Amino acid sequence: DGGITQSPKYLFRKEGQNVTLSCEQNLNHDAMYWYRQDPGQGLRLIYYSQIVNDFQKGDIAEGYSVSREKKESFPLTVTSAQKNPTAFYLCASGGGAGELFFGEGSRLTVL
In the complex, the residues that contact another protein under the rule CB under 8 A are: 4, 31, 33, 35, 40-45, 48, 50, 56, 58, 90, 92, 94, 96-100, 102-105
The C-alpha atoms of residue 74 and residue 8 are separated, in whole angstroms, by: 14
- Let me know the angle formed at the C-alpha of 103 by 34 and 86, rounded to the nearest 5 degrees: 55
Distance CA 30, CA 84 (A): 30
Q: Which CB, 80 or 107, lies closer to another protein?
A: 107
> With respect to another protein, which residue has the nearer C-beta, 13 or 44?
44
**Nearest-approach distance from CB 16 to another protein, in angstroms:** 31
Compute the least distance from the CB of residue 80 to another protein, in Å.
27
Is there a contact between 80 and 38 (Cβ–Cβ < 8 Å)? Answer: no
Identify the three-state secondary structure at position 39. Answer: coil
- Least Å from the CB of residue 104 to another protein: 5
* CB of 2 or CB of 16, closer to another protein: 2
